Amino acid sequence: MKIDPPNEGDRQQASPENLEKMWKFVRRFAEKSGSYLHPQPEITEYLVIGLAKHIDEVGRPLCPCNFYEDKAEEAKSSTWICPCEEMQKYKYCH
């Protein structure tokens, strides 16, 4: 299934500084940990945007693939902070 790539409006949901920070993080983490980014680059970019947006909102890179009733409270735990427990276990990002 092909998805549309993120557009400028999508990218503007997060600060340029945190977007850059998260791109560096995901690339470095994949390289060092032996994990894999999604084979569709569009999915990875949406993920990076979501991580950066959460840093802007709550100060931590919460996994954007999940719903949180209270993001600020969830940010206090480490369960869904990137790399989340699923990523660490399966070595693959959604």
Contacts of 1 (CB under 8 A, 6+ apart): none
Catalytically annotated residues: 65
Angle between helices 16-33 and 41-58 (to 10 degrees): 120
d(CA 15, CA 58): 13
